Structure 1
Amino acid sequence: MLTGEAIAKMVDFSAGNLHDVDHLLHVFGLAKAIAEGEGLDAETLHAIELAAVVHDIACPLCRKKYGSAPGKLQEKESAPLVREFFAGTDEPQETVERIAWVVSHHHTYEPVEGAVHQVILEADWLVNTSEGVRDGRPAPTRPAPFFATRTGLGLFAAMFPPVAQ
């Protein structure tokens, strides 16, 4: 499946929820930047791009079913939705299963299982944290302990520079 097709399908799936659309595009952009900055191969980059697009696929269901969409409920509900999203596409089943696993663990910070998981964790954390800062929460002074990529750490430093005292 082409990444652009996945984005269009996920925007449609978001049913006009502009926060969800903005969030997925922001995570997608940072995930792509991290993956490319780390020099990951094309197959891994493609899986990262698709995982970034669908990482919050369970949010609408969780909001409807539970009244909110905390991370652990997203993880619980996401795998079948990911499989359904990619059903009938040309995406290899192995890639779909990897994406389903990563999306089902995108709020599980230990252990980190491979490059796709690492990049999605870092990109989503950066976006969630920046959204929190925009909403008035204090900016972090250090990245989350699971950060491991040079590019993710660089993005953190650029997004959350030390505040002059």
Structure 2
Amino acid sequence: MDLLHELTLSMIKYYQGDPKRIQHFIKVHSFARLIGTAEKLDDETLFILETAALTHDIGIKPAELKFNSCGGKLQEQEGPMPAKIMLTDLGFAPNVIERVCYLIAHHHTYDKIDGKDYQILIEADFLVNLYEDNLPEKAVRTALNRIFKTETGISLCKTIFNL
């Protein structure tokens, strides 16, 4: 079994009994992989992106337990530690863990995007959140103009939301 498969199963177990959160990270991973592949990421960057997509919201659970809130900044603050533990236990390489934890710690910060993996993770999360939150067309257009930068992400957003 490969690491991404093992990680997917570990994240499902982590969010056992919370199908909404499980469905969310599965969808974000699917869009991240789709965009990353279409944008021709190298294998290592794609692997980091997929790992981050599966774990990006891992901080929700500890944030809710500690603060009774799962706001974006709390997710960023509380996510790296459980991700580091899970990824280490599964045997991920230290450089992968370091970058994934960085992405988790910044996935709600949109003004300092420093790599294609980061950009695509944000776009994939937005594609899912715009739908799941049932946001109006104006919000979708605003996100399209401010957030989306990759050709594939822009095309997906326009197609999915019929813009």
The bucket for the TM-score relative to the shorter chain is: over 0.9
Counterparts in 2 of 1:81 and 1:132: CA distance versus 1, 3 Å: same
What CA RMSD, in Å, does the superposition of the two structures yield over aligned residues? Answer: 1.2
Q: CA deviation at 1:89?
A: 2.9
Aligned residue number for residue 23 of structure 2: 22
Segments of structure 1 that go 5 or more residues without pairing to the other structure are none
Q: Kindly provide the amino acid, as one letter, of the partner of residue 138 in structure 1.
A: P
How many residues are paired up?
A: 159
Q: Deviations over 1:101-147 (max 9, x none)?
A: 001000000110111111111101111111111xxx31323415132
Bigger share in helix: 2
Q: CA deviation at 1:159?
A: 1.1
1:116-135 equivalences in 2 (<5 Å): 116-133=117-134
Larger displacement relative to structure 2 (82-91 or 8-17) = 82-91
Q: Deviations over 1:34-79 (max 9, x none)?
A: 1001011111111111100000001111122222211010001111
Segments of structure 2 that go 5 or more residues without pairing to the other structure are none
Q: Is the 8 A contact 1:141 1:160 kept in 2?
A: no
Distance in 1, Cα, partners of 2:80 & 2:63: 13
SS of the residue 2:119 aligns to: helix
SS of the residue 1:117 aligns to: helix
Larger displacement relative to structure 2 (87-96 or 10-19) = 87-96
Q: CA deviation at 1:16?
A: 1.4
Aligned residue number for residue 152 of structure 1: 153
1:76-115 equivalences in 2 (<5 Å): 76-115=77-116
Larger displacement relative to structure 2 (118-127 or 84-93) = 84-93
- Tell me which of 136, 139, 142 is aligned to 1:138: 136
Runs of 4+ in 1 over 3 A off after TM superposition: none
Q: Is the 8 A contact 1:110 1:146 kept in 2?
A: no
Distance in 2, Cα, partners of 1:144 & 1:57: 28
TM-score with structure 1 setting the length = 0.92
Distance in 1, Cα, partners of 2:130 & 2:33: 18
